[in-house]
Amino acid sequence: MSAIMTVTAPETDSPSTVATVADAITAAVRGGRLVPGQRLTENAFTARLGVSRSSVREAFRQLAADGLLVAEPHRGVTVRQLSRGEVDNLFAVRGALETLAVQLALPTLHAAPGPLIALQAELDAAAEAGEMARFSDLNGRYHLLFRRNAGNPLLDETLTRLLNSLYWLQFRVMVDSTDVFETNRQHQHLTACIAAADAASAEAAMREHVETARLLIQSLPDDHFAPDPR
């Protein structure tokens, strides 16, 4: 019956109230207007967005499930802030999943390397021009390309959730870093491995790249992290 309908269908459907609220909060976090650790109260958003408390509550829960916020009973929600230990834990999981994504996506990306090549070119340009914010965005898109082409939606979702809670730290690293060239060199190497269809090297390259990202994040000053409970 509905064979014609909504195969690609991005934003055709009328966005629900909850989705609108969730998008607004997400945008605020991405834009730095809400910073990690900051507490969000329901009333603040009911007033500002003109929606009911129910909708705000549900948006909060949804974003908490996405890893962007963290909810505590009777204490409301805050923008997720990771401790150094949690960053290490996250990167252990991320390493395992990103290498899996590389492995699964390699055939697809090797067969149709167009988007990868194009993205690599943009990354090179941004790195050369020193446009850090733009490089950070492209870096996200680069990793997205792999998990999207892994042909495993569950893997994609799981990785996306992890990276959601990592967004801010990753962004800080890119902006503060005096040397994105090393990061970009790793991208180039990985891209080359894909082009050569060298699975083993590609996996190793991704693993090293993720480890580098971890080290860069851990090199940020303490005030970017939640206190490590211990």
Partner DNA sequence: TCTCTAGGATTGTCGGACAAAATTATCAGA
Partner DNA sequence: TCTGATAATTTTGTCCGACAATCCTAGAGA
Q: Which residues, including other chains, have CB under 8 Å from residue 230's CB and lie 6 or more apart?
A: 85
The item of DNA, a second copy, none sharing an interface with residue 226, based on CB under 5 to 8 Å by kind, is: none
List, in sequence order, every beta strand (DSSP E) within 48-182. Answer: 69-72, 76-79
Per CB under 7 A, which region of 40-48, 101-109, 180-188, 199-207 contacts DNA?
Answer: 40-48
Per CB under 7 A, which region of 4-12, 54-62, 137-145, 198-206 contacts DNA?
Answer: 54-62
Q: Does 24 bind DNA (CB under 7 A)?
A: no
Asked if 225 and 82 count as a contact pair (C-beta separation under 8 A), the reply is yes
Q: Does 25 bind DNA (CB under 7 A)?
A: no
| Single-letter code of the amino acid located at 152 | N
Applying CB under 8 A, which of residues 22, 56, 77, 97 lies at the interface with a second copy? Answer: 97
CB of 25 to DNA, least distance (A): 13
Between the CA of residue 110 and those of 106, 131, 171, 191, 205, what are the distances in Å? 6, 29, 29, 10, 16
CB of 7 to a second copy, least distance (A): 12
Applying CB under 7 A, which of residues 25, 77, 90, 194 lies at the interface with DNA? Answer: 77
Q: Does 42 bind DNA (CB under 7 A)?
A: yes
Phi-psi region of 151 (alpha: psi -120 to 50; beta: other; left: phi over 0): left
Percent of residues in the chain assigned helix, strand, coil, to nearest 5: 70, 5, 25
Applying CB under 8 A, which of residues 42, 58, 122, 198 lies at the interface with a second copy? Answer: 58
Q: Does 40 bind DNA (CB under 7 A)?
A: yes
The item of DNA, a second copy, none sharing an interface with residue 51, based on CB under 5 to 8 Å by kind, is: DNA
- Residues in 99-118 at the binding interface with a second copy, rule: CB under 8 A: 99-100, 104
CA distance 142 to 213: 14
CB of 100 to a second copy, least distance (A): 5
Comparison of 100 and 123: residue with beta carbon closer to a second copy: 100
Q: Which residues, including other chains, have CB under 8 Å from residue 16's CB and lie 6 or more apart?
A: none
Q: Does 93 bind a second copy (CB under 8 A)?
A: yes
User: How many other C-beta atoms are found inside a 10 Å radius of the C-beta of residue 188?
Assistant: 15
